[in-house]
Structure 1
Amino acid sequence: MAEQAPRLLVVGPSWVGDMVMAQSLFIMLKRRYPGATVGVVAPPWSEPILERMAEVDAVHPLAVGHGEFGWKARRALARQLRGRYDRAIVLPRSWKAALVPFLARIPERVGFLGEQRYGLLTERRALDKTVLDQTVKRFVALGLPEAETASGAFALPEPRLEVDRASQTRLGEQHGLGKRPAIAMMPGAEYGPAKQWPLRYFHALAARLSEDGYAVRVIGGPKDHPAGEAIVEGLAHARNLCGETSLADAVDLLAGSEQAVTNDSGLMHVAAAVGTRVQAIYGSSSPAYTPPLTANAQIHYLALDCSPCFKRVCPLGHTNCLNHLYPEPLYHAVTRRIATDG
């Protein structure tokens, strides 16, 4: 008798970029277990991203705020999931993240050691950060037998989000985006200012690209709207779309852009996952730890002695890792690629 395809539940992360990187795990699971069901416990905001992943069969929203315990919501979701899954893969390392699979009585529950999750997990793995030195490696490793991950040499499928072409057309008409080839810019980074390239540099780059015949689209959430205004100020062919589009819209807008100039942010990973050429800017974070998961990217990183510090705000007060990364190299990187493609 053939073995029944497993029913797998993944407790997903809470950041846009991490959720995109989690698709590498979903792809691996579908390849390894043909016919498997993959469900994801995730914050409601992530549904538009997960809906663009062909490998995800079901999304189970967990509406719990950041730092909130949310006992009632977790218990209610667990009741809904009882009997529906055979194995749970818990990506976050917090105690709370392991609670839903435990309460849902899922027989097998795997995750890394963290916050003393005794009893909540049936398989608690030690995390060797020197071997699993990237976020995506840690995600994929939890879907594999532990013996296969000891060397850190295993396949990491690239995320690939589906694109809605009809939505692209609608967005172009709705926002009057015109016919110029588009360069997307993403000035936001939720983590903090030590990951944010100076707005005056974004503006200078946008000005030069506009003069060269390109349209600049600044993409981000409502919090990024003031930054977008600073970038497009005085530029006829630059549009600030921050706060005017949904996360699903951002997927389609980025897919319709020739390149994306971006901080190390969630939207950087979205751009990579739709195949857009990425110009990725790193300050306090490390391109070795959270790189864009595509070969179609160029990294801009000064690798100063104080980098990466992984701080939200520069502890030395100068943020030279970004302030000394001037617009000129970015301009040449963007235009060189366009000339090559042309």
Structure 2
Amino acid sequence: MKWFTNSIVGKTVEKKSRCLFSNIPFGKNVIGLYLTVFLFLFTAGGSLAQTRKYFGQFNQLQSYFNPALTGYEGSVVRGLVRNQWTGFEGAPQSFFLSAELDPMEINAVENAALLGNTAAGLHVIQDNFGPFRQTEMLASYGARVRISRSTNLRLGIAANYHHIRLDGNNLTTEQANDPTVNAYLNQFATLQVMDFNAGMAFTHQNYYFSYGLQNIARGRVYRGDAFIKERPFVSIFQTGFRQALSSKITVLTNMMYRIQHDLPYNLEMNVKLMAMDKFWLGVGHRANYANSYHFGFLMSNIRFGYAYEIPVTSSYLIPNPTHEFMVSFFLFRKGGVNSEAGTLIW
């Protein structure tokens, strides 16, 4: 038995299983496919390796990780594309699209971010990698209570629908009769899972603290081919701070820590310098996995962000970088980045 750790489509997969690929040639055109097959290695008991989504700009997707942060930045539509291992044919890709609405902003209420008490969001993610296509839809609802003039306590819940499609025709193995994979060779399998997330947060224009819990039902509500037996609880801690150094320079820091019993801990952080409330430069680090470099700019109600990510030496698998592009459009925003309506960037 041997442990495998791999980074695929912004995911970590760590599994205990037999090595199926010890004699396979190491070629540029096939290495990506070989590595994606690791996603499908089973233990003797038949449980599938768990996966974890990674985003270099995780701080821009707060409400996806914790529904309590739905509407924290107001009514906004976001889109993100993540291209991993650029340069390899069939390299993994992730697509993210979300919309969040604050009814108080729709009604043009002044200081809606402070006076409003509900918000709703819809998030859609699609991952394509090797034989797998995963589509996730998440509907979130957040409620908030004003503690002080500038501080809110937020609670949130989300329903999560996950559709996974496996194309067994794309599996590659030197042991066609290996029981860990031959049940799905040369055929298709689909799995649909319904689950729930919840969270709470303390938010301010200049800081936030939050805790979220994912997979509350542990994947037990499903239909289709049960090639994932159970989904573990995931605890997510997020925090961020912003501090003005001068009238033109602001420092922004964000951190996320994830705990999942069947995977190593995940710690991510980034630091950005924002100039004149118009553009920013930053660096990020995912502990034991990758470093990233960020830049972006604000133009009226539009925000654009880019992250360039490269693996650290300890997890070096493929030298090709990852590119991540993000665009946000704020629907009803009035005032500047630091207006009382809220903040346009974390």
TM (normalized to structure 1)? 0.29
**Bigger fraction of residues in strand:** 2
TM (normalized to structure 2)? 0.28
